[in-house]
Amino acid sequence: MAFPTLTPISQMSKSILPATGTVTEVAALLPLEVYSNSSQFLSGASDQVAFTYKKIGGDVLDIELKTGNVYANYQEAVLEYSYLVNLHQSKNILSDVLGQTTGTFNHEGERLTGPSNVNLKFPRVSFEIERRISDAYSTEAGIGGTIPIYSASFNLVQGRQDYDLQSIISGSSATGTDPSGGAAAYAGIVGDKRVIVKKVYYKTPNAMWRFFGYFGGLNVVGNLNYYGQYTDDSTFELVPTWQNKLQAMAYEDNIYTRLSHYSYELKDNHLRIFPAPDIVHDYKNMWVDFSIIPDAWEETGTTNTGISGINNMNTLPFDNIPYENINAIGKQWIRRFALALSKETLAQIRGKFQTIPIPGEAVNLNADALLSQAKDEQEKLREELKTILDELTYVELSKKDAEKSQSTNDVQKRVPLIIFQG
């Protein structure tokens, strides 16, 4: 009796990874369209098939993968590399580009609008975050800032001590004129916004005609070389500017300290004047300097506040790093990471069955060990790249430059000068 001839089949799947890939098929087999228009990427993904085939042992054992799996893993590796590098760059430049132009992106992370290839550029250092913080302090100190300081006046009323500055200023803003009939620079912008009163003062026009005040007159410091206090401005050209400034500051301080007709109390923008005005003269205006605190989310329309610009890592106009701009260092990391991803894919496939029965025996698959190895390699590669990038931030590079400079100085200190040589 003749026995049938059995032909063993070595393969466990109909899908076996070939030894090489094909450039022309890559684009159609990618899960995303990212990099599908890059000829260099397509070549790199095709070459990854041969790399994976050799590294996993495809010339010895069957590899239950399709070329599409390798292409997809290679694309994921490039995207992961782009993600980590972009994350690194965002740490470098975010503080300098706050409020600058942002961008829009499609579902694949490709830029639609905004500046191009920003993640490949070194921005001008602007100390933007420090400047924005200092603007707020400057505004409060009255020496600059971005919030305008307005002046308003209201008429004193004989016998009346209490005045609601919030209502007075809001009313003037609504009408466009102050109580004295002048045009209000803050017309239409107060509304129900709270005003912050910076200064309350009574301006005496006659007193302001005399720049030097009590420092004028004969034989006093402000009267250099017998210049009279009523002379015109041209007579003071020889006086240093700093002296004029000090005299003006001292004069202003004297007005508020020694010459004031009133004192006041201010609570919640309610002003109480002491004493109650008994006689209201022709110059009856009381003045206040104030600011209007804008809504934190409101564009002023007068300056580029950058409220709608870059505010965090997410709004940086970073798209995926162009494949052509990735150097040999990056491409080698991508190959290794893509290989680890392909091992994970293979482990997932083999893990569907723990064993494969064959005549008289069973083949145990290495899915668990392969999956563990793949995950471990991916984590190590991520940490390796993160460590390198953290060591190469602009701050760390500055520190290394400082250390290099110090080391150079230390060496040069020990170089004898020529006069000490024999």
Looking at residue 221, its pLDDT comes to: 45
Asked, for residue 40, whether it belongs to a domain, the answer is: yes
* % pLDDT > 70, the chain: 79
Question: Which pTM value belongs to this model?
Answer: 0.71
Look-up of token digits 């076996």: 16
**Do 284 and 335 lie in a common domain?**
no
Asked whether the predicted pLDDT for residue 338 surpasses 80, the reply is: yes
**Do 41 and 89 lie in a common domain?**
yes
Looking at residue 367, its pLDDT comes to: 87
**Do 244 and 273 lie in a common domain?**
yes
**Do 225 and 203 lie in a common domain?**
yes
Nearest to 8 by CA among 356, 347, 350, 346: 356
Asked whether the predicted pLDDT for residue 370 surpasses 90, the reply is: yes
**Do 184 and 256 lie in a common domain?**
yes
* % pLDDT > 90, the chain: 44
Asked, for residue 299, whether it belongs to a domain, the answer is: no
Contacts of 156 (CB under 8 A, 6+ apart): 273, 277, 280, 284, 285, 286
- What residues make up the domain containing 221? 134-292
Beta pairing class for 149-155 and 285-292? antiparallel
Dihedral of alpha carbons 181, 187, 188, 191, sign: negative
**Do 224 and 115 lie in a common domain?**
no
Looking at the structure of the chain, the number of domains it has is 2
Q: Report pLDDT digits (tens) over 97-113.
A: 888 889 999 988 888 99
Q: What is the mean pLDDT of residues 76-88?
A: 97
- Of the pLDDT bands very low, low, confident and very high (cuts 50, 70, 90), residue 212 is very low
**Do 98 and 245 lie in a common domain?**
no
Q: What is the DSSP letter of 403?
A: H
CA distance 155 to 129: 42
Q: What is the mean pLDDT of residues 148-173?
A: 90
**Do 342 and 233 lie in a common domain?**
no
Asked whether the predicted pLDDT for residue 249 surpasses 80, the reply is: no
